[in-house]
Amino acid sequence: MSQFQPTERTQVKRLPKRGRYDRETVFQILDSAFVCHVGFNVDGQPYVIPTNYGRSGDTLYLHGSSASRMLKTLGAGVPVCVTVTHIDGLVLARSAFHHSVNYRSVVILGTARLVDDPAEKMEALRVFTEHVLKGRWVDVRHPSEQEMKATSVLALPLEEVSAKVRTGGPVDDEADYALPVWAGVLPLETVAKAPEPDALRKSDLPLPAYLKNYSR
């Protein structure tokens, strides 16, 4: 299906016209970000942890140290909420009340499973690497057996998912349009600067094409 079916928990209720449930929008938001925030509860104490991730089809992969409390907790079946957000612009209105931001966000609810199969685990690590920089996996040394043992990978199915998007300019009260205040949008974006080679490598290889032509 091209759409995620909204549930009682993922249906956007506040400003529902901004809600999106199509896979194209959800995947674009997930695939163009670097960091997600992982929310879970342990003994009545909520935690929200920022971490990297990767996506393959309808599965989101999380990874980290095998000693990670977060991964151990989630691997035991604790429900999880994962969010990803882009801020695309500051929306400057004529009144303080109507200031806003243009954004794209995704919320994922579910239960993660520990990835035990060595082939899936290695594929997940490839997905992580390619998510950060497409083309990098073929250049680098792949994880050793010891490194694989030191790493935990969780798979979170993309089932209960929704996106929320705001675009456009400010929406002021009619009377405020006469105020002598600048209003509009200040666009924001992440820009890659010139790569900086490792100072410990005195004669490095030529810059890979995926760095020369990097774009997100």
Q: What is the chain written as a DSSP string?
A: --B----TTTS--SSGGGEE-BHHHHHHHHHT-SEEEEEEEETTEEEEEEEEEEEETTEEEEEEETT-HHHHHHHTT--EEEEEEEEEEEEE-SSGGG-EEEEEEEEEEE--EE---HHHHHHHHHHHHHHHSTT-TTTSPPPPHHHHHTEEEEEEE--EEEEEEE-S-----GGGGGSS---EEEE-----------TT-SSPPPPPHHHHT---
pTM of the model: 0.91
Has residue 96 got a pLDDT over 90? yes
CATH number at residue 50: 2.30.110.10
In a domain, 7, yes or no: no
- Looking at the 3D structure of the chain, how many domains does it have? 1
In a domain, 6, yes or no: no
**pLDDT-based confidence at residue 203 (cuts at 50, 70, 90):** low
Has residue 65 got a pLDDT over 90? yes
**pLDDT-based confidence at residue 189 (cuts at 50, 70, 90):** very high
